[in-house]
Amino acid sequence: MRVYLIDDDEALRNGLREVLERAGHEVRVAENGLSARRTLRDWPVDLVICDMLMPDAEGFEVLRTVRTGSPGAKFVMISGASGELSGFLDRAPMLGADAVLQKPFAPQELLTLIDAVCGDATVSGSPVKSMG
Protein backbone atom coordinates (compact mmCIF):
# COMPACT_ATOMS: atom_id res chain seq x y z
CA MET A 1 0.00 0.00 0.00
CA ARG A 2 1.20 3.54 -0.75
CA VAL A 3 1.37 5.55 2.47
CA TYR A 4 2.14 9.23 2.80
CA LEU A 5 3.33 10.21 6.28
CA ILE A 6 3.30 13.91 7.16
CA ASP A 7 4.69 15.11 10.49
CA ASP A 8 6.99 17.94 11.51
CA ASP A 9 8.73 15.81 14.18
CA GLU A 10 11.72 14.35 12.33
CA ALA A 11 12.45 11.58 14.84
CA LEU A 12 8.83 10.40 14.83
CA ARG A 13 8.61 10.67 11.06
CA ASN A 14 11.76 8.56 10.56
CA GLY A 15 10.72 5.98 13.14
CA LEU A 16 7.23 5.56 11.72
CA ARG A 17 8.60 5.37 8.19
CA GLU A 18 10.76 2.44 9.25
CA VAL A 19 7.82 0.71 10.96
CA LEU A 20 5.59 1.18 7.91
CA GLU A 21 8.25 0.00 5.45
CA ARG A 22 8.94 -3.11 7.56
CA ALA A 23 5.20 -3.80 7.39
CA GLY A 24 5.51 -3.83 3.59
CA HIS A 25 4.20 -0.39 2.72
CA GLU A 26 5.69 1.99 0.16
CA VAL A 27 6.21 5.17 2.14
CA ARG A 28 6.91 8.80 1.34
CA VAL A 29 7.29 11.46 4.00
CA ALA A 30 6.90 15.21 4.33
CA GLU A 31 7.74 17.59 7.16
CA ASN A 32 4.85 19.95 6.62
CA GLY A 33 1.51 20.27 4.94
CA LEU A 34 2.66 22.63 2.22
CA SER A 35 5.19 20.22 0.72
CA ALA A 36 2.73 17.36 1.24
CA ARG A 37 0.04 19.05 -0.80
CA ARG A 38 2.47 19.39 -3.73
CA THR A 39 3.46 15.72 -3.63
CA LEU A 40 -0.13 14.51 -3.31
CA ARG A 41 -0.85 15.92 -6.75
CA ASP A 42 1.88 13.78 -8.32
CA TRP A 43 1.86 10.58 -6.23
CA PRO A 44 -1.46 8.72 -5.83
CA VAL A 45 -1.79 7.33 -2.31
CA ASP A 46 -3.88 4.71 -0.54
CA LEU A 47 -3.41 6.17 2.95
CA VAL A 48 -2.33 9.49 4.42
CA ILE A 49 -1.15 9.68 8.03
CA CYS A 50 -0.93 13.32 8.99
CA ASP A 51 -0.11 15.34 12.07
CA MET A 52 -2.82 17.80 12.99
CA LEU A 53 -0.64 20.78 13.96
CA MET A 54 2.28 21.69 11.70
CA PRO A 55 3.91 24.81 10.30
CA ASP A 56 2.96 26.10 6.82
CA ALA A 57 -0.20 24.04 6.35
CA GLU A 58 -1.94 22.14 9.14
CA GLY A 59 -3.40 18.69 8.93
CA PHE A 60 -6.91 19.93 8.21
CA GLU A 61 -5.64 21.68 5.08
CA VAL A 62 -3.97 18.45 3.97
CA LEU A 63 -7.19 16.57 4.71
CA ARG A 64 -9.12 18.96 2.47
CA THR A 65 -6.53 18.45 -0.31
CA VAL A 66 -6.78 14.66 -0.01
CA ARG A 67 -10.58 14.64 -0.02
CA THR A 68 -10.60 16.87 -3.13
CA GLY A 69 -7.79 15.26 -5.13
CA SER A 70 -7.72 11.66 -3.86
CA PRO A 71 -11.20 10.97 -2.50
CA GLY A 72 -10.57 7.20 -2.30
CA ALA A 73 -7.53 7.55 -0.06
CA LYS A 74 -7.92 6.79 3.62
CA PHE A 75 -6.85 9.46 6.10
CA VAL A 76 -5.60 9.08 9.67
CA MET A 77 -5.09 12.27 11.68
CA ILE A 78 -2.55 12.06 14.52
CA SER A 79 -1.76 14.62 17.19
CA GLY A 80 0.07 15.18 20.40
CA ALA A 81 -1.95 18.28 21.20
CA SER A 82 -3.11 18.66 24.77
CA GLY A 83 -5.57 20.84 26.59
CA GLU A 84 -8.12 22.71 24.50
CA LEU A 85 -6.29 21.90 21.27
CA SER A 86 -6.78 18.16 21.79
CA GLY A 87 -10.50 18.64 21.15
CA PHE A 88 -9.76 19.50 17.54
CA LEU A 89 -8.54 15.94 16.96
CA ASP A 90 -12.00 14.68 17.90
CA ARG A 91 -13.46 16.87 15.15
CA ALA A 92 -11.28 15.38 12.39
CA PRO A 93 -13.79 12.61 11.52
CA MET A 94 -16.52 15.21 11.02
CA LEU A 95 -14.28 16.84 8.42
CA GLY A 96 -13.49 13.60 6.59
CA ALA A 97 -10.75 11.77 8.48
CA ASP A 98 -11.29 8.01 8.61
CA ALA A 99 -9.65 7.68 12.03
CA VAL A 100 -7.67 9.58 14.64
CA LEU A 101 -4.80 8.56 16.88
CA GLN A 102 -3.54 10.48 19.91
CA LYS A 103 0.24 10.69 20.42
CA PRO A 104 2.10 9.07 21.99
CA PHE A 105 1.16 5.70 20.57
CA ALA A 106 2.94 2.40 20.11
CA PRO A 107 3.90 1.43 16.55
CA GLN A 108 1.64 -1.62 16.79
CA GLU A 109 -1.33 0.64 17.59
CA LEU A 110 -0.78 2.45 14.30
CA LEU A 111 -0.46 -0.80 12.34
CA THR A 112 -3.64 -2.14 13.95
CA LEU A 113 -5.45 1.08 13.10
CA ILE A 114 -4.25 0.88 9.49
CA ASP A 115 -5.57 -2.67 9.24
CA ALA A 116 -8.92 -1.55 10.64
CA VAL A 117 -9.22 1.43 8.31
CA CYS A 118 -7.73 -0.05 5.14
CA GLY A 119 -8.02 -3.79 5.60
CA ASP A 120 -10.94 -6.15 5.71
CA ALA A 121 -11.79 -5.19 9.28
CA THR A 122 -14.97 -3.23 9.72
CA VAL A 123 -14.86 -0.08 11.78
CA SER A 124 -18.66 -0.17 12.20
CA GLY A 125 -19.24 3.21 10.62
CA SER A 126 -17.33 5.24 13.15
CA PRO A 127 -13.69 6.20 13.35
CA VAL A 128 -11.28 4.27 15.52
CA LYS A 129 -9.69 6.33 18.24
CA SER A 130 -6.83 5.23 20.41
CA MET A 131 -5.73 7.11 23.48
CA GLY A 132 -2.23 5.55 23.60
Per-residue pLDDT of 69-113, as tens digits, reads 888 999 999 998 877 777 788 889 999 999 999 999 999 999 999
Q: What is the average per-residue pLDDT within 47-62?
A: 92
Q: What is the average per-residue pLDDT within 9-37?
A: 94
pTM higher than 0.85: yes
Across-strand partners of 26? 2
Q: How far is CA 72 from CA 36, 101, 103, 104, in A?
A: 17, 20, 25, 27
